[in-house]
Amino acid sequence: MLLVAACFPGQGSQSVGMLDAFAATYPEVRETFEEASEALGLDLWALVSGGPKETLDQTENTQPAMLVAGISVWRVWQAQGGVAPALMAGHSLGEYAALVAAGSLSLAQGVRLAAERARLMQAAVPVGQGAMAAVLGLTDAQVMTVCAEAAEGAVVEAVNFNAPGQVVIAGDVDAVGRAMIAAKAAGAKRSLLLPVSVPSHCALMRPAATLLARRLEAVDLRLPEVPVLHNVDAAVADSVAALRERLCEQLYRPVRWVETVQAMGAAGVSLVIEFGPGKVLTGLNKRCDKNITTLPVFDPETLKAALEATADAQG
């Protein structure tokens, strides 16, 4: 029997016009954006479809927009009779989309939390003081050693274990710069700064996590109807209290994406559907577990291909 999982991308997969083709065919896209826009008090569809890019790329706009994009695609999948996944996960902000899809949060709750999360993250580290960089071609251990040696009393950490040989680092801008130089010296194929304004998933986000914890206490969370693997430990939370803890820890602890995909494989998953614009996770998943196929869904053509691929799993 084909066992399917769902995954949702995070910040970085956004682009102006990213769901135009989908929205032209499936009304669920615009309906989902309208529902979220009303909850947030911001016309997200106008931003996503018309930009400008600079505004869409601002963290406090990107995070709610990406959550809604993922959920709109997920709702189209449901409306078209797509197979129900046995597991879900999301990369960074995508974890919130997974929780909405799994029934742990309503869309309104999720989009408000995403916007608040983004504001708290940006407030924790002013623009220009933090940075993130992708290091390609080193082992996880090598990257962690490079960060430890480059810190010099500041913060620079391995924060996204995205795929074998692809690790993202984050921290104070000068420390990240030193780590990039050290990574090249250690044999990295490439070391490149990422176009982000917040150093996510590192110790600099602890103040934001403290404030997010207070915000989460006021939210009526439920355990998801479909198990969701969390970024910080690639495991399923067994209580609402643990769920809140995982969401707070996610701000300052690494995204363990390799372990997450491998946990899907260990559970018997052989096919993952990526719901949302782009196919970043599709590329990463292939490298994390060669026995798992990932199919992206972001337009009518990719939807058709994924529906056909999972047709035998229906029922």
Instruction: Write out the catalytic residue numbers.
Output: 92, 201
Report the distance separating Cα 170 and Cα 10, nearest Å: 16
Exposure string of 249-284, with b = 16+ CB inside 10 Å and e = fewer, is bbbbbbbbbbbbbbbbbeeebbbbbbbbbbbbbbeb
> What number of CA atoms fall less than 13 Å from residue 124's CA on the CB side?
29
DSSP per-residue letters across 168-236: EEEEEHHHHHHHHHHHHHTT-SEEEE-S-SS-TTSGGGHHHHHHHHHHHHTS-----SS-EE-TTTSSB
Report the distance separating Cα 266 and Cα 137, nearest Å: 26
Instruction: Please identify which residue in the block is written with the tokens 């917040």.
Output: 198
> What number of CA atoms fall less than 13 Å from residue 28's CA on the CB side?
17
Report the distance separating Cα 112 and Cα 115, nearest Å: 5
User: H or E stretch including 5?
Assistant: strand 4-8
Report the distance separating Cα 111 and Cα 308, nearest Å: 31
Partner residues linked to 130 by β-bridges? 172
